[in-house]
Structure 1
Amino acid sequence: MTSNDELPDCFGDLEKVFPMGPNGLRETPEQCFYHCPVKTNCLQQAMATKNGIQVEEEVIERSSKAGAISFFERWSRKKQAYRRGLKMKK
């Protein structure tokens, strides 16, 4: 990982590194996906924010509606996301 002085201005900014695409799903921009040496850490940082938890909950809901996860898995994953959100408030 590079030092904080070397990080791009967009580092960890959810709306810049994982914006909503035209089809209603979030997408990683091409410049991030192919050309950024810190893309993985950047996206992890963005998803560790309060807005990132909301995105995770959106994914859980879509998966549930599509039948990709069971009721209990949905409940468990939402509970984990909720707990991460509580930790951020402390």
Structure 2
Amino acid sequence: MGEHTDRKPCFGDLGVVFPRGEDGLPRSPETCLACPDKTLCLRVALQGRDGIAMQDRRVDQAYESGMMGFWSRWSRKKLLDRKRRTCR
């Protein structure tokens, strides 16, 4: 993962690199799967405001379905809030 200055304009854009499919689940498009920067791009997208919001929704879903307890949810939400405050 070296420094790349010739990144595509879609780099790190969660709506492009990890959009929701027809079933409501996020999926990477075929064009992204062929890209050499796909892993770094998705990591950058998930660290942005939209990515943090997506993680926040997933925590709520896990709590509502009983897959996560109160304290785990509280801790995760607190961590996401800290990330949101320091996000660019």
TM range (shorter): 0.7 to 0.9
Q: 2-side partners of 1:22 and 1:41: how far apart?
A: 25
Deviation at 1:2, TM superposition (A): 4.5
Distance 2:60 2:81 in 1: 14
Would you say 1:87 and 2:86 are equivalent positions? yes
TM-score (norm 2): 0.87
Number of paired residues?
88
Tell me, which stretches of 5 or more residues in structure 1 are unaligned?
Answer: none
Q: Is 1:32 paired with 2:32?
A: yes
* TM-score (ref. length: structure 1): 0.86
Amino acid at match of 2:66: G
3-state SS of 2:63 partner: helix
Which segments of 5 or more consecutive residues in structure 2 lack a partner in the other structure?
none
Deviations 1:25-71 (A, max 9, x none): 211222223x1211111011111111111001011111112211111
Q: Which moved more, 1:73-82 or 1:59-68?
A: 59-68
RMSD of aligned alpha carbons: 1.5
Residue 23 of structure 1: CA displacement? 1.2
Identity, % of aligned positions: 38
Q: Distance in 2 between matches of 1:28 and 1:63?
A: 22
Q: In structure 1, how many angstroms separate the alpha carbons of the residues matched to 2:31 and 2:2?
A: 18
Runs of 4+ in 1 over 6 A off after TM superposition: none
1:6-41 deviations in Å (ceiling 9; x for gaps): 2222110110001111112211222223x1211111
1:62 counterpart letter in structure 2: Q
